Amino acid sequence: MFLSPLADRWIAVRNTTNPSPNTVAARQRDLTVIAEHLADLLDRQRPVDTEGEPVSALEVLSIDDLDRPNLEDAFAGYAAGHAPSSTRRVMSTWRQFCLWLIRESHMDANPLDLIDGPRRGTWQPKPLHASDLEAVAHAVQTEDPTSRHPWPARDEALFALFVTGGLRATEAINAQLGDLDLDSDPARLRVVGKGGKPRTVTLPPETAAVLRHYLAERTAAHGTPAAKDPLIVRTDGRACTRSAVDHLVRGWFRRAGRTPPPGALAHSLRHTYATLLIDNGASLPEVQRLLGHADLSTTQAYIGVTGKGLEEAALANPARYLLRPPQPAGSR
């Protein structure tokens, strides 16, 4: 039996848990990319479709092709051009797919159990230093001379959501106007995070003011938006894409004369948000809820980058005074 219908069935089964569109797309992409490596290794010819494009490699592979040596070579080929984290994610997808094939009696054993993936390194957040954050903020508030259609008010609104709301880029892109409540005190924004988990983000008055300014300009340019319309839009009124947001954020860093942390653009602003919270006394469980982390261990990674704040908190412990030697009678 060819893998394509089985892959479609497995994805349909996993979709019953209502995953995010990004998760659904990632699963399909993970299955396809390894299938392409495997088809090339086995020299399987892929016919073209009606548009002249090769059909999915899943359509020319069968269950019998999924043995340990074949998959091991396919994963090795993928790993040669990708980060360890990407390889681990792809292997996880295939491990889950093979487990389902076993439950459906298509396989006897999981070949992924015999294949070692890259070791997981220590994850380190990438927050900005205070001077870098100030430089980027100034660039955001300044009209981009190289842009054909600059919109500083929109840029400042997006920047504010990152640095005072801790939003992921996809959360900012997917937020709808009806998710924003500027009439509450303080203002609030409902977002949907990883795994389709909703959370409510509290926004300070300064961010509320920035959003009101942006929305006023947007209404003047594009008319009154509906509640279902995206909160952040491009200059032509269309919804933002991830590549559009990355382009904006990359421009902020460029105009600020700063280099973004490796592998992080908008996410570095989210990391900065979390670091500032901890430095100013927020507890890890509080930051976990604000960021929408499923696991507290993810939030704990910020401890390693907030040394100054933690040192000050430790030195503020009043029990330290109990350790001081008693003063002689009559002394001050």
* pLDDT tens sequence across 104-151: 999 999 999 888 888 766 667 778 888 999 999 999 998 888 888 899
**DSSP secondary structure letters along 71-95:** HHHHHHHHHTTS-HHHHHHHHHHHH
Q: Which residues are catalytic?
A: 168, 194, 267, 270, 293, 302
Question: Model confidence over 183-202: pLDDT tens digits?
Answer: 998 999 999 988 788 899 99
- Beta-bridge partners for 188: 181, 202
Give the pLDDT band (50/70/90) at residue 317.
low
> In whole angstroms, what is the distance from residue 152 CA to residue 160 CA?
12
What is the pLDDT confidence band of residue 275, given thresholds at 50, 70 and 90? Answer: confident
Is the CATH code 3.30.360.10 the one for domain 3-114?
no
Confidence of residue 314 (pLDDT cuts 50, 70, 90): low
- Ordered by start, the domain boundaries in the chain are 3-114, 130-314
Mean pLDDT, residues 71-97 taken together: 90
Q: What are phi and psi of 2, to 5 degrees?
A: -75, 155
Measure the CA dihedral 27/28/34/37, to 10°.
-160
φ/ψ of residue 199, rounded to 5: -150, 160
Confidence of residue 320 (pLDDT cuts 50, 70, 90): low
Just give the CATH number of 130-314.
Answer: 1.10.443.10
CA–chain centroid gap for 253, Å, is 19
* pLDDT class of 262 with cuts at 50, 70, 90: confident
